[in-house]
């Protein structure tokens, strides 16, 4: 990364944030929603005001060239970007700050940090961009097995090492941030084309470790689809998988590390499948009388095998909240792209599917329609959304999201039950009616990935308890309805108890066995996915 350093509290770099006009728009929506002109606002402590405990360990001289105990580094690696992370940081609670932050420059230095951390009884937390929204990067120390905490930031492993234009793949270091990755691929005429909402402030290794969901709404929905092979540094040695387009040789070693959330090793490098840069685009936004009409149109498009790059739908309230529409209709943002061929036939058939379910195009289909109208407004709101939480939390607003996936036959029931359970929980927790909205982020022939947002007027002094009560109700409803606790946000610690209910227990036992073999001291990201 270049430019200003990342904020220790908030999204993005220091000096960046929503404009005064954007803040006015967002707060205006909440003032109307909760019929209030003023919010109870508290001040967020500055970096110099934080009270950090004295480091419990100090790196040896051999590690000091790339390790630090400086205030900024420790504060900036204390939390991710989940709602409870923001609340605790807002309150100046940095008790879990790492004692040491390491910035290794190669695999040898990763191994050296692991050896040292093991020798002093420290936990070790792998850290990409710190954009976790589920409590996945907070250092943990139990005082018994782990007596200190070290965070391993991979930002110095940031190169595209090699490009194979024949196989259309590249070897990329895991600490490479999204913009740098794309800039390094551009001269070769390729793109990874994986754009999560956190793209600007997250890394390839983080995407792989958390099974990130990216740009494509269908077909290539997760980073999994692009991984050709991996190199992983573990406390007992380096694992390197073979570069192959596919293999039927037993359980996939790549799959064991994809989604492992840093508990089995540190991903240091990966061969990734690339895409040609798109030269053909077609896009349109459509209005539907209801969200379920839009959902049925999405199912028709998905099951027609058209594989759009974007096929998001927003319920009427979600569209209104982002300024994409007036709240009278559900909105679909539909787009196709290709580096090889025109897309008129694909778009024409998709529009037929939408018309069958009362969809009306807002704009004539065009190569830049994804930048116009409701589609363009939504796109900009999507990119800017993460900046809002840093000023909404101090005014006592609880705004958060959760996502799932479910088969089409159960979707409408899940939607209604989860929405109702979350709305009830908001009233019970806060005493004030809140709001729950829904959109689709990714779609499959056999089901969608619904993404819910909830908005509540909280109370300072009780924000964490109120958020947890709402989160519990929503998560319980997801599991009971047969959905997954997460489609692409990962498990972390926030989703851990529901992940325990979702996964087969024998699989958990097998995962614990892999953990014991690869991380015998249990130092890597303790408490995530499994307990030793």
Return the domain boundaries, the chain.
20-153, 160-276, 280-489
**Structure tokens of 165?**
């234009």
- Tell whether residue 3 is among the known ligand binding residues: no
Q: Are 363 and 285 in contact (CB under 8 A)?
A: yes
Going 25 to 30 to 33 to 36, the CA torsion angle's sign is negative
- Tell whether residue 130 is among the known ligand binding residues: yes
Q: What is the CATH number of domain 160-276?
A: 3.30.465.10
- Tell whether residue 127 is among the known ligand binding residues: yes
Name residue 260's beta-bridge partners. none
- Tell whether residue 250 is among the known ligand binding residues: no
- Tell whether residue 266 is among the known ligand binding residues: yes
Tell the CATH superfamily of the 280-489 domain.
Answer: FAD-linked oxidase, cap domain/gating helix (3.40.462.40)
Closest CA to 284 of 165, 368, 210, 209: 368
144: left (phi over 0), alpha (psi -120 to 50) or beta: alpha
- Tell whether residue 263 is among the known ligand binding residues: yes
Task: Provide the 10 A C-beta neighbour count for residue 208.
Answer: 26
Task: Show pLDDT as tens, one digit a residue, over the chain (532 residues).
Answer: 557 899 999 999 999 999 999 999 999 999 999 999 999 999 999 999 999 999 999 999 999 999 999 999 999 999 999 999 999 999 999 999 999 999 999 999 999 999 999 999 999 999 999 999 999 999 999 888 999 999 999 999 999 999 999 999 999 999 999 999 999 999 999 999 999 999 999 999 999 999 999 999 999 999 999 999 999 999 999 999 999 999 999 999 999 999 999 999 999 999 999 999 999 999 999 999 999 999 999 999 999 999 999 999 999 999 999 888 999 999 999 999 999 999 999 999 999 999 999 999 986 455 555 556 777 887 788 889 999 999 999 999 999 999 999 999 999 999 999 999 999 999 999 999 999 999 999 999 999 999 999 999 999 999 999 999 999 999 999 999 999 999 999 999 999 999 999 999 999 999 999 999 999 999 999 999 999 7
> Which residues have CB under 8 Å from 262's CB, separation 6+?
125, 126, 136, 209, 524, 525, 528
Helices H, strands E: what count in the chain? Answer: 16, 18
- Tell whether residue 262 is among the known ligand binding residues: yes
- Tell whether residue 189 is among the known ligand binding residues: no
The catalytic position among 86, 103, 451, 499 is 451
Residue 57: φ, ψ to 5°: -140, 160
> Which residues have CB under 8 Å from 420's CB, separation 6+?
none
DSSP label of 315: -
Going 388 to 393 to 395 to 398, the CA torsion angle's sign is positive
- Sheet of 67-68: strand order equals 67-68, 100-102, 148-153, 122-127
CA 312 to CA 315: how far, in whole Å?
A: 10
* Secondary structure class of 328 (helix, strand, coil): coil
Q: Are 319 and 331 in contact (CB under 8 A)?
A: yes
- Tell whether residue 434 is among the known ligand binding residues: no
Q: Are 463 and 396 in contact (CB under 8 A)?
A: yes
If 0-12 CB within 10 Å is exposed, 13-18 middle and 19+ buried, where does residue 32 land? exposed
Distance of CA 84 to the CA centre of its chain: 15
Task: Kindly provide the b/e burial profile for residues 505-532, where b requires at least 16 CB atoms within 10 angstroms of the residue's own CB.
Answer: eeeeeebeeebeebbebbbbbbbbbbee
Closest CA to 488 of 215, 101, 262: 215
CATH topology of domain 20-153: 3.30.43
> Which residues have CB under 8 Å from 491's CB, separation 6+?
134, 136, 261, 485, 499, 528, 529
- Tell whether residue 157 is among the known ligand binding residues: no
CA 530 to CA 532: how far, in whole Å?
A: 6
Question: Is 79 one of the annotated active-site residues of the chain?
Answer: no
- Tell whether residue 267 is among the known ligand binding residues: yes
- Tell whether residue 128 is among the known ligand binding residues: yes
> Which residues have CB under 8 Å from 342's CB, separation 6+?
280
Q: What is the pTM of this model?
A: 0.96
Q: Are 303 and 296 in contact (CB under 8 A)?
A: no
Which DSSP string do the residues of 227-238 spell out, in sequence order? EEEEEEEETTEE
């Amino acid at each position: 990364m270049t430019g200003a350093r990342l904020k220790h509290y908030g999204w993005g770099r220091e000096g960046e944030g929503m404009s005064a006009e954007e803040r006015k728009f967002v707060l205006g929506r909440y003032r109307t929603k909760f019929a209030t002109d003023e919010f109870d606002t508290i001040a967020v402590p500055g970096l110099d005001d934080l009270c950090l405990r004295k480091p419990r360990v100090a790196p040896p001289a051999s590690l000091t060239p790339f390790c630090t105990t400086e205030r900024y580094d420790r504060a900036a690696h204390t939390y991710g970007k989940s709602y409870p992370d923001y609340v605790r940081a807002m309150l100046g609670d940095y008790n879990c700050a790492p004692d040491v932050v390491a910035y290794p420059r190669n695999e040898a230095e990763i191994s050296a940090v692991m050896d040292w951390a093991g020798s002093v009884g420290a936990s070790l937390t792998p850290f990409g961009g710190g954009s976790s929204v589920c409590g996945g990067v907070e250092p943990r120390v139990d005082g018994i097995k782990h007596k200190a905490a070290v965070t391993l930031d991979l930002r110095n492993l940031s190169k595209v090492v090699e490009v194979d234009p024949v196989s259309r793949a590249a070897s990329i270091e895991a600490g490479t941030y999204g913009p740098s990755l794309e800039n390094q691929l551009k001269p070769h005429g390729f793109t990874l084309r994986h754009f999560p909402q956190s793209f600007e402030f997250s890394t390839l290794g983080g995407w792989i470790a958390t099974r990130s969901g990216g740009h494509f709404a269908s077909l290539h929905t997760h980073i999994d689809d692009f991984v050709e092979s991996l190199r992983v540094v573990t406390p007992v040695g380096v694992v390197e998988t073979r570069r192959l387009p596919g293999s039927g040789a037993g359980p996939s070693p790549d799959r064991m590390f994809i989604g492992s959330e840093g508990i089995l090793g540190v991903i240091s490098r990966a061969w990734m499948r690339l895409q040609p840069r798109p030269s053909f685009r077609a896009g349109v936004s459509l209005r539907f009388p209801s969200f379920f009409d839009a959902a049925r149109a999405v199912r028709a498009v998905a099951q027609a095998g058209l594989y759009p790059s974007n096929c998001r739908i927003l319920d009427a309230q979600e569209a209104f909240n982002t300024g994409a529409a007036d709240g009278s209709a559900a909105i679909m943002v539909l787009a196709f792209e290709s580096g090889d061929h025109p897309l008129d036939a694909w778009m024409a058939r998709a529009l037929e599917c939408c018309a069958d379910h009362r969809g009306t195009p807002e704009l004539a289909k065009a190569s830049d329609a994804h930048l116009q109208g409701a589609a363009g407004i939504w796109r900009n709101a999507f990119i800017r959304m993460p900046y809002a939480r840093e000023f909404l939390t101090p005014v006592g607003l609880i705004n958060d999201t959760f996502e799932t996936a479910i088969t089409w036959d159960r979707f409408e029931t899940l939607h209604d039950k989860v929405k109702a359970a979350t709305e009830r929980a908001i009233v019970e927790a806060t005493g004030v009616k809140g709001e729950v909205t829904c959109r689709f982020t990714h779609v499959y022939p056999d089901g969608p990935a619904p993404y819910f947002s909830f908005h509540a007027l909280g109370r300072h002094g009780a924000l964490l308890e109120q958020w947890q009560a709402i989160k519990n109700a929503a998560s319980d409803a997801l599991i009971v309805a047969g959905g997954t606790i997460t489609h692409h946000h990962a498990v972390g610690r926030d989703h851990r108890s529901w992940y325990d209910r979702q996964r087969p227990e024998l699989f958990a036992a097998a995962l614990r066995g892999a953990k014991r073999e690869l991380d015998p001291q249990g130092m890597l990201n303790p408490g995530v996915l499994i307990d030793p």
